[in-house]
């Protein structure tokens, strides 16, 4: 007599949004696999359980998340999948609304409810896996999320409402995670957080990113450490001093400035003005003259006057005056505009925008024409020259980071760091026809 074989559940985890969401998905996949689930990430293979990790930062991200939920809700109604779960920022902020509007979803979970999601799948949250992580990126690099949440009060941002207050991970836990990643062949760590420079204030009562950089630099196998999402106000220059001292820390800093006109910066609640910003950039360049700086700018912010916009353009021209590159194709979403209601629940949404959409689009187009922006999705302003024959070399367009990675994957086993970097630079220049002086 034949017996019926039970089909093993297969889970497809779909990640939308930023690299911090990606790390959350990687932790979820690690936990599910430890519970003997067959798990895929963003896969086209048949899966009977789908988990969507959503983003809710701006309108486009919100719409993408809702569209993806609706797509799989329809598939579920047609019998294509058995279970559908939603987690992440959109679910955190709009859980009640989503439950009413899309009841086909079996359950919604917030950004910090991983144990609850696992329990719904009859899986245990394994504390011994903290620091271990399945990576979905190419094997030569990985993101390292050093903290969660944000204590800043920027008027255009709803991240604190979706991610909560800033919580740093202990240095020891991050070193353990970095060691685990290095054992699996990871060569480059990209440090990410909602606010990188705030690291340590909550658990050590002081800013301890330099201490963390020293500890991570001692991890065998890690060759490059790159810093993302720094905040300009009260920026601790000890970070740049550590960058100058530590060969593994790239001469690269992602530091969103958002604007240059003081009235707009004040309305944004950025806690810094143009003069302080220029002083900070001068101090950074004095410590690391060949540093590459990447930033984002918002145009069309409520209350932005023609004079404010011209001041922003003047700042961009001055910041880019030392950069001589072949002009890249115009980016599709760069620099970022700030349409009303683009950041759900942010204080800016209660303000009356004095500029119509057409004006914001015109300013965005004008800012693009300055020629300082890369083909990345966000505006990028980069400064100074690279060090192409040094382990800390960086190039001057943000999109080069992603283009360089596949090259480093092939060449990271080269015995000579100097030779490897020369080859990487040559291949990059040949592929992108980028002139660097």
> Closest Cα to residue 65, out of 21, 117, 113?
21
Residue 404 has pLDDT above 60, yes or no: no
Segment 303-320 shows an average pLDDT of 89
pLDDT band of residue 217 (cuts 50, 70, 90) is very high
pLDDT band of residue 406 (cuts 50, 70, 90) is very low
Residue 332 has pLDDT above 70, yes or no: no
Give the neighbor-by-neighbor strand order of the sheet with 38-41: 38-41, 10-15, 49-54, 83-88, 107-108
Sign of CA dihedral 66, 68, 71, 77: negative
pLDDT of residue 236: 95
Domains of the chain by start residue, with CATH: 10-128 (3.40.50.12160), 137-423 (3.80.30.20)
pLDDT tens digits along 249-303:
999 999 999 999 999 999 999 999 999 999 999 999 999 998 998 888 888 889 9
Beta strands in 176-259 (DSSP E): 188-192, 224-227, 249-254
Residue 139 has pLDDT above 60, yes or no: yes
pLDDT band of residue 130 (cuts 50, 70, 90) is confident
pLDDT of residue 185: 94
pLDDT of residue 60: 87
Q: Which residues contact 323 (CB under 8 A, 6 or more apart)?
A: 372, 382, 383, 396
Token pair for 413:
């086993």
Please name the helix (run of DSSP H) or strand (run of DSSP E) that holds residue 173, with its range, or none.
helix 171-183
Neighbour tally for 435: CB within 10 Å: 9
Residue 329 has pLDDT above 50, yes or no: no
Residue 309 has pLDDT above 90, yes or no: yes
Residue 348 has pLDDT above 80, yes or no: no
Residue 322 has pLDDT above 60, yes or no: no
For residue 197, the 8-state DSSP code is: G
pLDDT band of residue 13 (cuts 50, 70, 90) is very high
Segment 332-336 shows an average pLDDT of 40
Across the chain, what does the average pLDDT equal? Answer: 79
Segment 344-364 shows an average pLDDT of 60
pLDDT of residue 57: 79
Residue 327 has pLDDT above 80, yes or no: no
Residue 83 has pLDDT above 50, yes or no: yes
pLDDT of residue 213: 98
pLDDT band of residue 28 (cuts 50, 70, 90) is very high
For residue 224, the 8-state DSSP code is: E
Among 45-49, 126-130, 238-242, the minimum mean pLDDT is found in: 126-130
pLDDT band of residue 399 (cuts 50, 70, 90) is very low
Among 182-186, 229-233, 240-244, 318-322, the minimum mean pLDDT is found in: 318-322
pLDDT of residue 73: 96
CB < 8 Å & 24+ apart, contacts of 220-223: 220/179, 220/182, 221/182, 221/183, 221/185, 221/186, 221/187, 222/178, 222/181, 222/182, 222/186, 222/187, 222/188, 222/189, 222/248, 223/187, 223/188, 223/248, 223/391, 223/412
SS3 label, residue 216: helix
pLDDT of residue 416: 40
Among 89-98, 103-112, 159-168, 304-313, the minimum mean pLDDT is found in: 159-168
pLDDT of residue 394: 34
Residue 401 has pLDDT above 70, yes or no: no
- What region, left, alpha or beta, does residue 161 occupy, with left being phi > 0 and alpha being psi -120 to 50 degrees? alpha
Sign of CA dihedral 156, 161, 165, 168: negative
Segment 193-216 shows an average pLDDT of 96
Segment 93-119 shows an average pLDDT of 94
pLDDT band of residue 109 (cuts 50, 70, 90) is very high
pLDDT of residue 7: 65
pLDDT of residue 71: 96
């Amino acid at each position: 007599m034949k017996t019926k074989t039970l089909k093993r559940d297969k889970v497809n985890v779909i990640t939308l949004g930023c690299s911090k969401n990606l790390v959350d998905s990687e932790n979820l996949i690690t936990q599910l696999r430890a519970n003997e689930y067959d798990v895929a990430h963003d896969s086209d293979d048949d899966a009977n359980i789908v988990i969507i990790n959503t983003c809710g930062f701006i309108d486009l991200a919100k719409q993408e998340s809702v569209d993806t939920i609706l797509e799989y809700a329809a598939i579920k109604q047609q019998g294509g999948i058995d279970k559908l779960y939603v987690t992440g920022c959109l679910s955190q902020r709009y859980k009640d609304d989503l439950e009413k509007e899309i009841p086909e979803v079996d359950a919604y979970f917030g950004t910090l409810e991983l144990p609850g999601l696992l329990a719904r799948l009859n899986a245990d949250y394994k504390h011994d896996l903290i620091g271990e992580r399945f990576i979905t990126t190419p094997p030569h690099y990985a993101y390292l999320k050093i903290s969660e949440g944000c204590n800043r009060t920027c008027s255009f941002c709803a991240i604190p409402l979706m991610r909560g207050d800033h919580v740093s991970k202990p240095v020891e836990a991050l070193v353990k995670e970095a060691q685990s990643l290095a054992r699996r062949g990871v060569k480059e760590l990209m440090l990410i957080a909602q606010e990188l420079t705030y690291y340590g204030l909550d658990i050590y009562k002081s800013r301890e990113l330099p201490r963390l950089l020293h500890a991570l630099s001692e991890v065998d196998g890690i060759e490059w450490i790159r810093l993302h999402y720094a905040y300009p106000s009260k920026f601790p220059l000890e970070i740049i001093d550590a960058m100058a001292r530590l060969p593994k820390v790239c001469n690269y800093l992602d530091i969103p400035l958002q604007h240059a006109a003081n009235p707009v910066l004040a309305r944004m609640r950025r806690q810094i003005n143009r003069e302080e910003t220029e002083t900070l950039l001068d101090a950074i360049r004095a410590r690391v003259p060949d540093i590459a700086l990447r930033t984002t700018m918002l145009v069309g912010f409520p209350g932005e006057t023609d004079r404010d916009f011209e001041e922003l353009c003047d700042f961009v021209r001055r910041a880019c005056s030392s950069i001589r590159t072949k002009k890249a194709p115009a980016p599709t979403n760069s620099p970022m505009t700030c349409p009303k209601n683009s950041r759900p629940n942010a204080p800016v949404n209660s303000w009356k925008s004095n500029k119509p959409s057409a004006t914001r689009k015109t300013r965005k187009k004008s800012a693009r024409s300055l020629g300082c922006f890369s083909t990345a999705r966000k505006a990028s302003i980069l400064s100074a020259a690279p060090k192409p024959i040094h382990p800390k070399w960086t190039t001057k367009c943000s999109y080069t980071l992603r283009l360089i990675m596949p090259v480093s994957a092939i060449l990271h086993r080269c015995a000579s760091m100097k030779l490897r970097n020369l080859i990487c630079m040559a291949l990059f220049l040949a592929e992108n026809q980028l002139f660097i002086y």
